[in-house]
Each structure stands twice: as C-alpha cells, then as structure tokens.
Amino acid sequence: MLVLSLCLAGICGAEQRDVEQKKLVEQKKQLYARVETLKQEQDYLVFQKTMSDSDSKYLIINFAARNMQLKYKNRVLKDVPFKRVLGRVSRLSHGALTLTQKIEGPRERNLLIFGQALVLQGKYAPSTLLEEGIPRVFLSRKDFLSVYYAIESGAMAFILL
C-alpha cells in the first residue's frame, strides 16, 4: 500500500511538473515574442536616429496604417496615404530598404524601385526589371510626383508592417 501510495504520489508529482513545465514553455514563448518585438522597435529607433544625423530625405512606409511619411532629419515633410497596394506584401519584412532606381516613364508613369522588394508608383507602369508578385504601392499622382522628385537614388526607406 505504501509503495502504491508512493507511486500514486509520484504520478501526481509528475502531473504537477507537467503543468509547471507547460507554463514555463508558454512564458518562454511570450518572452521570445517580446524580445523580437523589442528588437524590431530598436531597429526602427536606430534607423530614425541615424537618419536624424544624416542630410538625406527618407521614407517611413507604414503598411499597417497604409500611409507613408517623407522625412528630413526628425521632421515630417509630407504625409502620403496609400491609394492601393498590389502584389505579395507578405514578401516584405520589417526593416530598412534602399532606393535602387528611379525610372522616368512616359506620361508620368514613373517608378521608384527598392531592389526586388518594393515599388512605389502613381500610375501603373509595367517593367521587365521587376519580378512577378513584387509588392507595389500606388500613391495619388500628385503625391507620388512630389515624393519622386524629393528623393534621390540611394535614399533610405523603412518598412513598418
């Protein structure tokens, strides 16, 4: 009986350990997620700090808020709402991008190309330079032209998802 009760006590203890372990695993998961969030937040803050010290205009492209800010140092120059988004936004990742190309197309069909990651445009303009499914953000024609002429190749953008 004693051994049996010991065994039963052991089983109960194991169950408690299981519960505790599950709790700890869950806590660990939450902490991992928090660390990731804080790292992303830090990337953004470091980017802003770097750009505040630089002499270039840059973009903050916020997919969650569906808008974009043209900034210079720590000052907002222009708020630009998205008109439309095409392509696979899931391909994008949180972080900095570089404007690799400015293409002046016919009838204001200009493109701002950030590698194979993102395209900004006012009017639709097909390009053989771009992969299929590349995310494209459409802005109003006027807003896009303001942004187009405000930034140069090599300008930085930060993606917030």
Partner 1 sequence: MRVMRKEKRETMDVGRGTRDVREEGRENIQSSCHPSIFLFFSCLRTAVAVFIVLVVVALSSPAWAEGPVPPTPIKVLSDEIQLLQQQVAQLEEENQGLMNMLRDMDDGELYLVVDTESNRLTMRQGNTVLMTAIVGSGSRQFLKEERGRSWYFESPLGSFTVLGKERNPVWIRPDWSYVEENMPIPSANDPDRFVRDVLGKYAVLLGNGYKIHGTKWKNLLGTHFTHGCVSLGDEDLEVVHTSVKNGTRVYIY
What is the contact surface with partner 1 in residues (CB under 8 A)?
1-4, 7, 17-18, 20-21, 24-25, 27-28, 31-32, 34-35, 38-39, 41-42, 45-46, 48-49, 52, 57, 70, 72-79, 142-143, 145-146, 148-150
Choice between 30 and 116, CB closer to partner 1: 30
Q: 43: closest CA among 96, 106, 109, 117? A: 96
CA dist., res. 134 & res. 126, Å (int): 11
122 and 107 Cβ atoms separated by less than 8 Å: no
Q: Which residue lies nearer to partner 1 by CB, 138 or 148?
A: 148
Query: Which residues sit opposite 76 in a β-bridge?
Result: 71
φ and ψ at 146, to 5 degrees?
-60, -45
> Which is nearer to partner 1, 87 or 102 (by Cβ)?
102
Sequence-distant (6+) residues with CB within 8 A of 121 are 109, 110, 111, 112, 136, 137, 138, 139, 144
**Cβ proximity to partner 1, 34 vs 66, nearer residue:** 34
Spacing of C-alpha 90 from chain mean position: 10
Q: Which CB sits closer to partner 1, 37 or 93?
A: 37
